[in-house]
Chain A
């Protein structure tokens, strides 16, 4: 086997084609199986067990989804929700990371800010919707504010915990090698904390999905939450299901994308996932 792969370009040797095919199947098969069993269960439930117009099956929902995708309504809702999620998520992370790092590095900062974070993080972002609408109106600002709010505490908490989890010997080794306090922060504490920061951001992403839907249910003219609300008003159960499935797929896709990006670009900093 080794001789053939040395003589022929490896990609064309039959063994390597078999290996590649095996790898593809091995990598994708469980994934496909997982998704198809999910939709199959749904199909069985709706066609044989529940049998109600209030519980459409996956095929009807797919047809309706395609219809809404073609006429552009679904795309508009998705774009509106995703824009809010990413804007809030990025602003929240950008504010949360430095605060969390400062809290983890200096106990005085932590003791001053802990009442803030530990008080505010128990007020759910959903509870803040009414005041956000009063303060910022029903436009984009109120939703982005809410997602910043829901992102920031998770990111702060994880960044802070990341700094606290750095092993004492890493700091001591750097000190004995002649690093200054500033160099220890930049070259040791920060890279050692990156996996924790990324984990915090991933959790915050999931929170953002919750918050954006809740906020759009109450006040918005576009977004997946609006779709859900209109579905309820006009008894469009299939549209509700399209919105629900879209949320699941978007969440799944963004999470995978985030994982892929951290593994691809963060390399050795990436948390084990």
Chain B
């Protein structure tokens, strides 16, 4: 049932000051079809780098990434991406036209793609907002457009790079519930990046915990059963939270030994 197979992934960057910098090393992971995988780690640990390589925006220095047994060569419509900020939306297009973009570039007829885009606009709860421009919509609504835009292409999986990181706490919680609902109704495989332990427990069916960078890798993968229904006072929630928390803290170097943080 494996959808994605990542094996021995390494990413090095050359920097001006220190020569070669290793962001991610020896990263191996298997993603299953239909699961909601959360990759959790402290900021700067290279989790966005992993997503970037999985999306095909960056090539790994070495290692293997396979989707359905074929190696990934650059970005493609079988992997939908949702970014953190709203700067990936096209501000000159309406919400509906943004959602249609992927269908338009693959040559779908106007009437057909309009119907399909409307279906995904409804799915993400943007009914009545179709003719508004992104600048006229709130942060949460913009992220809904991004999700609908990625889903409209009917990709094999959804890659989400801290999509709710810039939202306020209330909106973030609403969006987390919405995302779980959308995931359940579409059965799509999700690869979700976050630095928020609470978000990972609420959303993921499995949680991968990364060590702090540089030269970060995967510390452990834990199963997370029936997450969002749990209240935050539930013993299982508290158990998962403290377990992950100590795992991350154990891997994070103290401030003195931290030699220059690099944004991933």
Task: Give per-residue flags for A156-184: 1 if the beta carbon is below 8 A from chain B beta carbons, else 0.
Answer: 00000000000101101111111110010
CB contact under 8 A between A170 and B88, given known A178-B106, A183-B105, A187-B105: yes
B87 and A178 contacting across the interface, CB-CB below 8 Å: no
Query: Would you give the shortest CB distance from A197 to chain B, in whole angstroms?
Result: 13
Cβ of B44 under 8 Å from chain A: no
A176 and B80 contacting across the interface, CB-CB below 8 Å: yes
Query: Would you give the shortest CB distance from B261 to chain A, in whole angstroms?
Result: 21
CB contact under 8 A between A178 and B77, given known A170-B88, A170-B90, A269-B92: yes
Closest to B98 in A: A173
Q: A174-B101, A176-B81, A188-B90 are in contact. List 20 more A-B contacts (CB 8 A).
A: A167-B87, A170-B87, A170-B88, A172-B55, A172-B83, A175-B74, A176-B56, A176-B75, A176-B76, A176-B79, A177-B105, A179-B101, A187-B101, A187-B104, A187-B105, A191-B90, A191-B92, A192-B90, A192-B92, A268-B92
Task: Give per-residue flags for B67-108: 1 if the beta carbon is below 8 A from chain A beta carbons, else 0.
Answer: 000000011110111010101111111000000011011100
Contact of A177 among B56, B77, B85, B133 (CB under 8 A): B77
Closest to A266 in B: B92
CB contact under 8 A between A178 and B88, given known A172-B57, A172-B75, A172-B81: no
A178 and B153 contacting across the interface, CB-CB below 8 Å: yes
Residues 43-69 of B at the A interface (beta carbon under 8 Å): 55-57
Which 8 pairs, one residue from A and one from B, show the smallest C-beta to C-beta distance? A178-B77, A177-B102, A169-B88, A175-B75, A173-B88, A167-B87, A268-B92, A176-B81
Query: Would you give the shortest CB distance from B25 to chain A, in whole angstroms?
Result: 24
Closest to A175 in B: B75
Closest to A173 in B: B88
Cβ of B144 under 8 Å from chain A: no
**Tally of contacts, chain A with chain B, CB under 8 A:** 70
A175 and B133 contacting across the interface, CB-CB below 8 Å: no
Query: Would you give the shortest CB distance from B20 to chain A, in whole angstroms?
Result: 23
Cβ of B206 under 8 Å from chain A: no
Interface residues of B (CB under 8 A from A): 55-57, 74-77, 79-81, 83, 85, 87-93, 101-102, 104-106, 133, 146, 149-150, 153
Interface residues of A (CB under 8 A from B): 167, 169-170, 172-180, 183, 187-188, 191-192, 194, 267-269
Q: Is the interface of B mostly helix, strand, loop or mixed?
A: loop
B105 and A179 contacting across the interface, CB-CB below 8 Å: yes
9 CB < 8 A contacts A-B: A169-B88, A170-B87, A173-B89, A174-B101, A174-B105, A176-B81, A177-B102, A178-B105, A178-B153
Closest to A269 in B: B92
List B contacts of A170 (CB < 8 A): 87-90
Closest to B74 in A: A175
Query: Would you give the shortest CB distance from B103 to chain A, in whole angstroms?
Result: 9
CA A268 to CA B94, docked complex, whole Å: 9
A169 and B85 contacting across the interface, CB-CB below 8 Å: yes
Closest to A186 in B: B105
CA A183 to CA B77, docked complex, whole Å: 14
CA A170 to CA B89, docked complex, whole Å: 6
List B contacts of A173 (CB < 8 A): 81, 83, 88-89, 146, 149
CA A178 to CA B104, docked complex, whole Å: 10
CA A241 to CA B233, docked complex, whole Å: 81
Query: Would you give the shortest CB distance from B156 to chain A, in whole angstroms?
Result: 12
B88 and A180 contacting across the interface, CB-CB below 8 Å: no
List A contacts of B74 (CB < 8 A): 175
